[in-house]
Chain A
């Protein structure tokens, strides 16, 4: 049973436009959410996070929105740049107190120059 879902395996966006990556979760006990970015042959790097007490967190070009009632979060990248082309994973934690993350399956973003 996939508790964290990224339903779009891939996304293509023109350079300079907005990229919106989506993530849905099923467990209402999750209270901390993160986005990681992964280039081929490298480990994931932390991008941005949000606690369930907030509905928005911003860091430069990256903004994460959390809609708890819909159990949905999204990552907005504005403006998108070719260097943003990577696989993006969302992750959720908070249910067990053991600091485990549950990861989604990833969305491959391609930013076209």
Chain B
């Protein structure tokens, strides 16, 4: 079974803090994705990566950056957290054009 894990289930941060969200997958997938889920807006793609050290912007990259130094790990970075980044963050991975598998999510609250 594919396993995608995320470093935290819940996080509370202050405005202006730098926030790191980590995602690890154990299936040697090339592609990894970061989404945020907000009520009424569905899942929106922030960034994705199709190889180590490669990244592409998704639909809402502003205020975020990513890092992929190893194939199994994809990090999402909020350089200076703001209250409008309070959300559920979901990581996913896939191999080629196959189905994306999601982690359990991190619920981030920015105060």
Which of A's residues lie within 8 Å of B, judged by CB?
6, 9, 32, 34, 36, 41-46, 49, 89, 91, 93, 98-101, 103-106
Contacts and interface: CB of A to CB of B under 8 A. Distances in A.
A105 B105 contact: no
B43 interface: yes
16 contacts: A9-B40, A32-B97, A41-B9, A41-B105, A43-B92, A45-B102, A46-B100, A46-B101, A89-B42, A89-B43, A98-B48, A99-B31, A99-B96, A100-B58, A103-B43, A103-B44
A100 to B, nearest CB: 6
A42 B9 CA distance: 9
Given A100-B33, A101-B100, 5 more contacts: A34-B99, A42-B104, A93-B97, A99-B31, A105-B42
Contacts of A89: 42-43
Interface of B: 4, 9, 31, 33, 35, 40-45, 48, 50, 56, 58, 90, 92, 94, 96-97, 99-105, 107
A101 B107 CA distance: 22
Contacts of B92: 43
Contacts of A45: 102
Nearest to B48: A100
Contact of A43 (B45, B48, B94, B102): B102
A85 to B, nearest CB: 17
A60 B15 CA distance: 47
A106 B105 contact: no
Nearest to B105: A43
B41 A105 contact: yes
